Amino acid sequence: MIDCKQVTKRFGAVTALVPFDLELASGEFIAIKGASGSGKTTLLLTLGGMLRPSDGTVNFDGADLYAQSPATRAEYRATEVGFVFQMFHLVPYLGVEENVRLAARNGAMTQRPRELLEQFGLGHRLTHTPGELSAGERQRVALARALVNGPRLILADEPTGNLDPENDRQVFEHLSEFHLAGGTVIVVTHGSTADEFADRIVNLETAP
Partner 1 sequence: MIYGLAPREVAPPGRKKPIMITPVKRGTVQLGKTLAAIHEVKRDQMVTVEGSRFEVARVLSEKGSGAEIRIYMHLADAQAVLNRKGEINEIQALDCYCADETQDTLALLREQLGPILPQAQVFRMQDMAEAREKQRRDIEQTFSTLMPAVIILCGVIVGVLAFVNTRARRQEIGILRALGKGSGEVAALFLGKALLLGVVGAVGGFALGTGLLFVWGPGLLQIPPKLISWDLNNLKWALLLAPVFAAMASFIPAMLAVTQDPADTLRHDG
Q: Which residues bind partner 1 (CB under 8 A)?
A: 41-42, 45, 48, 50-51, 70-71, 74-79, 81, 83, 85-87, 89, 91, 102-103, 145, 149, 157-158, 161
C-alpha span between 208 and 200 (Å, rounded)? 25
In the complex with partner 1, which residue's Cβ is closer, 60 or 76?
Answer: 76
In the complex with partner 1, which residue's Cβ is closer, 97 or 157?
Answer: 157
**Helix orientation angle between 165-180 and 135-147, rounded to the nearest 10 degrees:** 10
In the complex with partner 1, which residue's Cβ is closer, 79 or 206?
Answer: 79
Q: Single out the residue of 109, 131, 111 nearest to residue 123, CA to CA.
A: 111
C-alpha span between 145 and 175 (Å, rounded)? 13
C-alpha span between 44 and 111 (Å, rounded)? 29
Stated as kind and residue range, the H or E segment containing 31 is strand 29-34
C-alpha span between 141 and 13 (Å, rounded)? 38
In the complex with partner 1, which residue's Cβ is closer, 86 or 139?
Answer: 86
In the complex with partner 1, which residue's Cβ is closer, 92 or 121?
Answer: 92
Q: How far apart are the first and last CA of the chain?
A: 30
Report in angstroms how near the CB of residue 37 gets to partner 1 at its nearest.
12
Report in angstroms how near the CB of residue 21 gets to partner 1 at its nearest.
21
* Long-range CB contact pairs, 19-22, < 8 A, 24+: 19/55, 19/56, 20/56, 20/204, 22/202
Scored b (16 or more CB within 10 A) or e, 109-121 reads: eeebbbebbeebe
The alpha carbon dihedral of 93, 110, 157, 54 has a sign of negative
In the complex with partner 1, which residue's Cβ is closer, 90 or 122?
Answer: 90
Report in angstroms how near the CB of residue 85 gets to partner 1 at its nearest.
6
Report in angstroms how near the CB of residue 89 gets to partner 1 at its nearest.
4
Report in angstroms how near the CB of residue 105 gets to partner 1 at its nearest.
8
Report in angstroms how near the CB of residue 52 gets to partner 1 at its nearest.
9
